[in-house]
Chains A and B, each alone.
Chain A
Amino acid sequence: MTRPSHIEAPAIRVRGLCVGFGEKIILDNLDLDLRRGEVMGFVGGSGTGKSVLTRAILGLVRPRDGLIEVFGEDLSTLPREQYRAMERRWGVLFQHGALFSGLNVLQNIQVPMREYLNLSQSLMDELAMLKIRMVGLPPDAAEKYPSQLSGGMIKRAALARALALDPEIVFLDEPTSGLDPIGAAEFDQLISTLQKTLGLTVFMVTHDLDSLYSVCDRVAALADRKVVAEGTMEDILRSPHPWVRSYFHGERGRRREAAQRAGEHS
């Protein structure tokens, strides 16, 4: 491992999380563990609060109750300075990229470097170009503005920005949505490579069954305002919960499962 392993606390530990807006309760008494160095896929129906959970962990939504620990530190009691240091240890890929529209791709990637580090401009250029290469963008994309990029390129550029400071945890909010199957497969491959080389811990909200089968070490399913199934793909497939069953054993799920079996036998 390239990461220190002296603290064995999980990367993220969520206990009894309750989040609601007004009368509406989105998450109720939710528990979740994200182990270090694993890729966790997080599934759930539309509007069940997958993004809300991510936003609660990132501190963008204030929970009503519950505990959120990142690397063993309770975020709600962390002093401001340490919280800022913690924020440097994670990178986020938002669903729609959230690239700064007034900056080109190279400058977007350099924003966190400029804010937090004291590097020469030439090294920042080199590192940003390295990230651009790592996420599979062509070099001439560096000078382009977000409005000139296609949807897939925006995702890649946003991933490059999320990786700018070599974070330990990466949050991916539907990274393959809106990509064509080839692009999505490449993206999965990319995440898997990065996870191996950088020792990343990845929290991936996704609807993509292919991603779940191919890159995720473990999967958690959100339904009825809590995590109803958590474990490896086999564990999830054995789950009795009706939503999980209809999700993974529906028409598309069955086809994917069959493909997986065929792949394993050949």
Chain B
Amino acid sequence: MQTAPAFTSERQAEALQLTLTGAWTIEASAALESAAQALLAEGQGARAVIFDLNSIERIDTAGAWLIDRSRDALNRSGIDARYGAARPEFALLLEEAQFRPVTTSKQKPQNLFVSILADVGETMVGAGRSMWSGVAFLGEVIASIIRAFTHPARFRGTSVVAHVETFAFRGLPIIALINFLVGCIVAQQSIFQLQKFGAATFAVDLIGILTLRELAVLLTSIMVAGRSGSAITAELGSMKMREEIDALRVMGLDPIDVLVVPRIIALLISLPLLTFMADMSAIFGGLLVAWTYGGISPDVFFSRLQDAIGMNTFLVGMIKAPFMALVIGMIAAMEGLATQGSAESLGRQVTSSVVKSIFMVIVVDGVFAMFFAAIRY
């Protein structure tokens, strides 16, 4: 399309004349850079150098910069390098793109051992801080919930209902499906294993206790953390990025009241409802598989189930649900509000929100397991 940057050199009485030709533009890319190198090499050793720019086809800032850099380098090695007469627009460009030494601050590499130690220390301090701010945030949220009860007029009912719709109602199909499938799988495996002892009907006990006490609430919480927790973090995070949180604050509205509490209350309502639906669909899945694989008819299934589980089995799962909701909502909101100005930071916060809340859900579940075992509930 256009000729590559090049030059011819001609030794005159006093000075070396370098006549530049072709297009000295950034499109030439690597060729431009090497032409400038060659220009510098050619000029070395001469007493004086004159750059003749009149035969250049095209030039842009990158070309002008490189030519001027070569001239400057020659000058500094004691060679008198000058420009010959140049067209006025070239002169203007050379003026604009005049070479000045560039200092980019490069961080010098640290000692590996020191940097690992520093990382460990930073992580520990960060963990301590986030624990501290978590407790502070919990206090703020609880204070705000209490305010909502003492001043019911300030309570944002519409917002809560809208969030219950997205968290519970829109999330129901996928959560019911997952728990249905897990019920099927538990039933199938327990029937296969228990058949060896001729105790296939005990599969019903296993399905009932396992799903009601642990699996339904756990799977539901993990799904909600992934589905709604991430949404809360992303919403609050992008509002933070676009200064919407600050806008609320200067209007005298507390973002915790307006944004966080309605979401947490909606989660507190949604998660028990979803857990109940998860219980039902898991047992339904177990019933179908027990019937088809194990030949356990629904009549037999239900009478065994009534013997195997009590009200306490069901309540163990349901009691955990609001605590899971609080953990998910708190972590999601905190991570969202901790977002910094960049898109990258938003991605990091959403990831950490989901990872932390799933981890904490499992930890809370373990704590409850120990507690219920201790009180023999």
Query: Counting CB contacts under 8 A, is B280 at the interface?
Result: no
Given contacts A117-B29, A134-B61, A166-B60, contact A2 B89 (CB under 8 A): yes
User: B104: which of A4, A113, A142 is its contact (CB, 8 Å)?
Assistant: A142
Chain A's closest residue to B94 (CB) is: A197
Complex-state Cα separation, A182 to B345, whole angstroms: 34
A129 and B102 within 8 A (CB)? yes
CA distance A142 to B102 in the complex (A): 11
A117-B26, A197-B92 are contacts. A125–B341 as well, Cβ < 8 Å?
Answer: no
Q: Does A196 contact B (CB under 8 A)?
A: yes
Partner of A118, one of B30, B65, B97, B340: B30
Asked if B96 lies at the interface with its beta carbon under 8 angstroms from chain A, I say yes
One of B93, B105, B343 near A197 (C-beta < 8 A): B93
B30, A166: Cβ atoms under 8 Å?
Answer: no
Chain B contact-residue range equals: 20 to 34
Q: Which of A3, A130, A148 contacts B61 (CB 8 A)?
A: A130
Neighbouring A residues of B82 by C-beta, 8 Å = none
Does A2 contact B104, Cβ atoms closer than 8 Å?
A: no
CA of A106 to CA of B104, assembled, Å: 10
- B196 adjacent to chain A (CB < 8 Å): no
Q: In the complex, which range does the number of interface residues on chain A fall in? A: 35 or more
Whether B342 is near chain A, meaning CB under 8 Å from some CB there, is yes
User: B33 in the interface, Cβ–Cβ < 8 Å?
Assistant: yes
Q: How far is the CA of A88 from the CA of B93 in the complex (A)?
A: 21
Contacting A at CB under 8 A, from B332-351, are 340-345
Which of chain A's residues have a CB closer than 8 A to the CB of B342? 101-102, 145-147
Q: In whole angstroms, how far apart are the Cα atoms of A197 and B344 in the complex? A: 37
Q: A74 contacts the other chain (Cβ, under 8 Å)?
A: no
The 9 closest A-B pairs by CB, nearest first: A147-B341, A102-B344, A101-B342, A166-B60, A117-B29, A118-B30, A129-B102, A197-B96, A197-B93
List 20 additional A-B contacts (Cβ < 8 Å) besides A125-B102, A165-B26, A199-B89: A2-B90, A2-B93, A88-B27, A116-B29, A117-B26, A117-B27, A118-B29, A120-B33, A123-B33, A126-B65, A126-B69, A133-B100, A134-B61, A134-B96, A147-B341, A166-B25, A166-B26, A166-B60, A197-B95, A198-B93
> Which residues of chain A have a CB within 8 Å of any CB of chain B?
1-4, 88, 100-102, 106, 113, 116-120, 123, 125-127, 129-131, 133-134, 139, 142-143, 145-148, 163, 165-166, 193-194, 196-199
A-B residue pairs in contact (CB < 8 Å), sample of 18: A2-B58, A2-B89, A2-B93, A3-B58, A101-B342, A101-B344, A101-B345, A117-B29, A131-B61, A134-B61, A143-B105, A145-B342, A146-B342, A166-B62, A197-B89, A197-B95, A198-B93, A199-B89
